[in-house]
Amino acid sequence: MNINYFFVFIALLASLFIPICFACNEAVCASIVSKCMLTQSCKCDLKTNSSCSRDCFFCLDYLYTECCSCVEMCPKPNETESILSSKSHVETLPEPMQNLFDVLTEDKDPHLRWTSETFPVQISFITSVGTDPKEIKFGTGTKVTMKSDGIDQEEDVQVNCTVAYMAQCMSWNKCKSSCRSMGATSYRWFHDGCCECVGANCVNYGINESKCLQCPFHDTNSDSETNFENVSNGEGNEDENHEDDHSLNVVKKPVRKEHEKPKIEKNDKESDMQNSVPKKAI
């Protein structure tokens, strides 16, 4: 019976031109999907028809999670989103030094070891019972005086949050030690290696987005191969140029002509004959 349902399911998909997602498990979903397609419970658009989506959900029953991709009812994941950059680990650091962190992130780092961002955030808190004005400090240079009328009430204060992104990728422990040395209050380490140091006035551990300049690493194999080929070609040309220069610098020995050789030998013979003739006595 399951085989018959499977062939009916294939015929319906061919007639309705419904593409099957790669994640669709035909062995598990063939029977239930065929039933839902025959009853037209899942013949709808997820964005425009909410009632049909509900009917499809109840029709697929406990197999909805596994089989919703067979009828294009599952939300499509964002393929461009990096899984590693969307996950992070956060931790509060002991004994922060906000003054040091503010000094280091106030101006641009000349060596581009990190880049800082400052943005306003709203901090809500409840004032305690009392009529005396209270002075509340938020980091360096931020001071707010609150007055209470004796009734607990919620107050909102806008402060500046500063975060610093390390340029290079680093390990979890390296990120923690680097942010601690800068005096940060907390840090956020992304699973792609990006490290974010968070200041005192920030909520929810700063920005949940990986923004490091040189992290994560990108695939540059093609560029490396091209550069390697260019360097290799350049070295080859330099070798050829060196060889040409060397050949030009070699001192060529004069070539002795053939007609000069007998002449030299003849002169040598004449000198020998003159030396061999005895001189007449006077």
User: Above 60 in pLDDT, residue 176?
Assistant: yes
Same domain flag for 62 and 185 = no
Q: How far apart are CA 188 and CA 166, in angstroms?
A: 11
Q: Are 152 and 54 in contact (CB under 8 A)?
A: no
CB-count burial class (<10 Å; 0-12, 13-18, 19+) for 173: exposed
What is the three-class DSSP state of 129? coil
Same domain flag for 40 and 169 = no
Q: Are 42 and 33 in contact (CB under 8 A)?
A: yes
Does residue 103 sit within a domain? yes
Q: In which band, very low, low, confident or very high, does the pLDDT at 238 lie, cut at 50, 70 and 90? A: very low
Q: How far apart are CA 186 and CA 96, in angstroms?
A: 8
Does residue 110 sit within a domain? yes
Q: Are 163 and 199 in contact (CB under 8 A)?
A: yes
Q: Which of 217, 238, 255 lies at the terminal end of a domain, its last residue?
A: 217
Q: Which of 65-69, 160-164, 218-222, 239-243 has the lowest mean pLDDT?
A: 239-243
Same domain flag for 63 and 182 = no
- Amino acid at residue number 161: C
CB atoms inside a 10 Å sphere around CB 115: 16
Full domain range(s) for residue 106: 80-125+137-143+155-217
What is the three-class DSSP state of 133? coil
193 or 69, greater pLDDT: 193
Q: Which of 159-168, 189-198, 233-242 has the lowest mean pLDDT?
A: 233-242
Q: In which band, very low, low, confident or very high, does the pLDDT at 94 lie, cut at 50, 70 and 90? A: very high
Q: Which residues pair with 161 in a beta bridge?
A: 119
Total count of domains within the chain = 2
What tokens does 122 get? 């709203």
Average pLDDT over residues 14-40: 70
Same domain flag for 30 and 99 = no
What is the model's pLDDT at position 223?
Answer: 44
Average pLDDT, the chain: 70
Q: How far apart are CA 176 and CA 3, in angstroms?
A: 58
Same domain flag for 98 and 164 = yes
What tokens does 30 get? 């063939």
Find how far residue 47's CA is from the centre of its chain: 33
Same domain flag for 66 and 160 = no
Q: How far apart are CA 89 and CA 96, in angstroms?
A: 18
Does residue 266 sit within a domain? no
Same domain flag for 27 and 44 = yes
Same domain flag for 85 and 206 = yes
Same domain flag for 54 and 89 = no
Supply the DSSP symbol for 111.
Answer: T
User: Above 90 in pLDDT, residue 197?
Assistant: yes
Same domain flag for 87 and 171 = yes
Average pLDDT over residues 195-206: 92
Does residue 148 sit within a domain? no
What is the model's pLDDT at position 128?
Answer: 59
